[in-house]
Structure 1
Amino acid sequence: MNRCPHCFGTGKELKRNKSTVNKRLDRCLNGSKCLGPNDETDSVEPDCICHRPQHAYECDRCHQFFHGRLTETCPQHKSEIYLMDFQCCPYCAAPKSMIQIAKFTWEQICKFENAELPGGDEGL
């Protein structure tokens, strides 16, 4: 049986309130989605940015588009790190300061990149 490490723990985590742990175990065992170690339905922190949405980005240096999130430090959870968040451009390693939110949605960008040019086979 696959166990969620956030709900069942690794043995190295801090001691938590027993009722909080039981709530998380119940959600995991009942098929509810586990969002991670700070998935608390009864306490919403207004300054928390841990589960912010993904965006389409464009690099100002290489003008490549990519989709995801840029790394940011959450004011409520300063020690949380999301390994899939981008720290720089994945194509040219430009710093975050050179990355902007794209003017197009990710669906529009995918359409552009997959579009065929008219007469693209001629003359090549």
Structure 2
Amino acid sequence: MCLCTRPSTNVLCRVCGYITVGRIRRSCPQHSTTLYLMDLEQCPRCRTYSFMMQEFSTDEAK
């Protein structure tokens, strides 16, 4: 399955609690050389790496 066209979601940093809209950077098995510059590799606030971040939809927050 291609990860390149997945929709934006809410992204939560589990270290500092920062929430933003976007996607966590993940490598697509079909397009391994494709890089989306707006995907998050680190938290914009505390700079922790993506393994400490979590994507969630607004339905999950309720």
Q: Paired residues, what number?
A: 59
Q: More strand per residue: 1 or 2?
A: 2
Q: TM-score, normalised by structure 2?
A: 0.83
Larger Rg: 1
Higher RCO (CA < 8 A, seq sep 6+):
2
Q: More helix per residue: 1 or 2?
A: 1
Deviations 1:17-71 (CA, angstroms, capped at 9, x unpaired): xxxxxxxxxxxxxxxxxxxxxxxxxxxxxx2111101110111111111110111
The CA RMSD over aligned residues, in Å, is 1.6
- After TM superposition, list the pairs within 5 Å mapping 1:16-35 onto structure 2: none
Gap runs ≥5 in structure 2: none
| Runs of 4+ off more than 6 Å | none
Q: TM-score, normalised by structure 1?
A: 0.44
Query: Aligned partner of 2:46: which letter?
Result: C
In the alignment, the residues of structure 1 paired with residue 44 and residue 7 of structure 2 have an alpha-carbon distance, to the nearest angstrom, of: 19
